[in-house]
Amino acid sequence: MSGVRVLVGTRKGAFVLSADGSRRQWDVSGPHFGGWEIYHLKGSSADPDRIYASQSNAWFGQLIQRSDDGGRTWHPVGNEFAYDGVPGTHQWYDGTPHPWEFARVWHLEPSPTDPDTVYAGVEDAALFRSADGGQTWQELPGLRGHDSGSAWQPGAGGMCLHTIVLDPKEPGRMFVAISAAGAFRSDDAGKTWRPINRGLHSQGIPDPDAEVGHCVHRIAMHRSRPEVLFMQKHWDVMRSDDAGETWREVSGNLPTDFGFPIDVHAHEPDTVYVVPIKSDSEHYPPEGRLRVYRSRNGGDEWQPLTNGLPQRDCYVNVLRDAMAVDTLDECGVYFGTTGGQVYASADAGDSWAPIVEHLPPVLSVEVQTLP
């Protein structure tokens, strides 16, 4: 029988939540790497037993863990992320040049076709690739070497490359997002890059045509229609119908268009999910009511989903990498909160129930749909 495996990264370890296709009874394993920050775990769609995890802390730095048996056992692989050549500088918060310094891996994106190939988005912003199952990592320096690189500035959370989206149809096309530089696209497998931020407008950026400087929080696409991208920006929910060449706002009737995650239904390319957050100075839901908003028509018109979610006294956040969907016939939607809850919906968001309620703050949620 088919099933799902939900991979949860938290501030104090990783957890693996498993269920059969009914998604009613859950087995919880973990914490794996107890006490460490697990920014992200993600499984290979080419080999679901292969999972990569980013393990780090302020004391002992970065480790990459790999499982070859679906998360039961793990072993450390390569953890040296050396910038290509002389790292150079980017802009610091005060506008002065600051050397690029590796801090941690925010996001791991396995290749859809080769379990040994995986991309890593890191802070300070750069993209690395491994073709040997994570044993060694090489930077794709064309991104950081873009003419605008020296002008990139960190957001409040650091200058992190947190989003990697691989185009399933166009060979060599990939998208990344960096806080607070913006979105970038490569059409040649990561050799060269260009900013794709036309149409993004942010208070505090006086130049309406600013090529970089945008605080993109997340980008999502549907596999069947990779030219259509959805973006949760710092403020504003955006949509592009031309692979990022231009963007238009689709925040519509959202109660607030600040937020972090955004995701697309597995079978309906125009069904999109966001979690509105009150403001960038108050990182919790409006009115203390945790609501996922769903658009069935690709943005602009949004419907609150509240069944099973706390509708009073709820002041958690949902971070950018903490939402995912499964690909079962009735699409499952999952998200984790900074309060340690992981919620699941087995009916595309109509109703929700917590899988776990007392984990450490959740940093990331991914889901694997198993045969």
Partner 1 sequence: MIRVVLPAHLRTLAHVDGEVRLEVSGPATQRLVIDTLEARYPMLRGTMRDPATGRRRAFVRFFACEQDLSHEPPDAPLPDAVASGAEPFLVVGAMAGG
281: which residues sit within 8 A by CB, 6+ positions away? none
Instruction: Kindly indicate which of the ranges 58-66, 225-233, 243-251, 305-313 contains the residues binding partner 1, using the contact rule CB under 8 A.
Output: 58-66
DSSP helix/strand/coil, 292: strand
Nearer to partner 1, 76 or 88 (CB): 76
Give the count of alpha carbons within 13 A of 250, CB side only.
28
Run of H or E residues at 143: helix 141-144
Instruction: Kindly indicate which of the ranges 79-87, 195-203, 267-275, 284-292 contains the residues binding partner 1, using the contact rule CB under 8 A.
Output: 79-87
Contact status, residue 355 vs residue 27, Cβ threshold 8 Å: no
* Beta carbon of residue 136, minimum distance to partner 1 (angstroms, whole number): 12
Q: Which residue from 58, 86, 204, 329 is in contact with partner 1, where contact means CB under 8 A? A: 58
Q: Which residue from 69, 72, 76, 347 is in contact with partner 1, where contact means CB under 8 A? A: 76
62 lines the binding site for partner 1 (CB under 8 A): yes
Q: How many angstroms separate the CA atoms of 10 and 344, rounded?
A: 17
* Beta carbon of residue 52, minimum distance to partner 1 (angstroms, whole number): 16
DSSP helix/strand/coil, 222: coil
* Beta carbon of residue 59, minimum distance to partner 1 (angstroms, whole number): 4
Q: Which residue from 27, 29, 82, 112 is in contact with partner 1, where contact means CB under 8 A? A: 82
Site for partner 1 in 84-103 (CB under 8 A): 101-102
Read off the tokens for 288. 């203390």
Instruction: Kindly indicate which of the ranges 77-85, 152-160, 202-210, 328-336 contains the residues binding partner 1, using the contact rule CB under 8 A.
Output: 77-85
DSSP helix/strand/coil, 287: helix
Nearer to partner 1, 26 or 102 (CB): 102
Instruction: Kindly indicate which of the ranges 1-9, 60-68, 190-198, 204-212 contains the residues binding partner 1, using the contact rule CB under 8 A.
Output: 60-68
Instruction: Kindly indicate which of the ranges 74-82, 184-192, 234-242, 275-283 contains the residues binding partner 1, using the contact rule CB under 8 A.
Output: 74-82
Site for partner 1 in 101-140 (CB under 8 A): 101-102
Nearer to partner 1, 79 or 192 (CB): 79
Q: Which residue from 63, 176, 309, 322 is in contact with partner 1, where contact means CB under 8 A? A: 63
Read off the tokens for 318. 């949902």
147: which residues sit within 8 A by CB, 6+ positions away? none
Contact status, residue 270 vs residue 297, Cβ threshold 8 Å: yes
Nearer to partner 1, 135 or 297 (CB): 135
Residue 28 sits at φ, ψ, to 5 deg, of -115, 120
* Beta carbon of residue 53, minimum distance to partner 1 (angstroms, whole number): 13
* Beta carbon of residue 346, minimum distance to partner 1 (angstroms, whole number): 35
Contact status, residue 207 vs residue 216, Cβ threshold 8 Å: no
Q: Which residue from 9, 13, 15, 36 is in contact with partner 1, where contact means CB under 8 A? A: 36
DSSP helix/strand/coil, 17: strand
Q: Which residue from 1, 25, 60, 94 is in contact with partner 1, where contact means CB under 8 A? A: 60
One-letter amino acid for residue 98 of the chain:
H
Q: Which residue from 3, 47, 79, 256 is in contact with partner 1, where contact means CB under 8 A? A: 79
One-letter amino acid for residue 193 of the chain:
W
Q: Which residue from 59, 94, 95, 358 is in contact with partner 1, where contact means CB under 8 A? A: 59
Give the count of alpha carbons within 13 A of 221, CB side only.
23
Site for partner 1 in 161-180 (CB under 8 A): none
202: which residues sit within 8 A by CB, 6+ positions away? 213, 214, 215, 233, 234, 235, 236
Q: How many angstroms separate the CA atoms of 138 and 84, rounded?
A: 8
Please give the residue ranges that form the binding site for partner 1 (CB under 8 A). 35-36, 57-63, 75-76, 79-83, 101-102
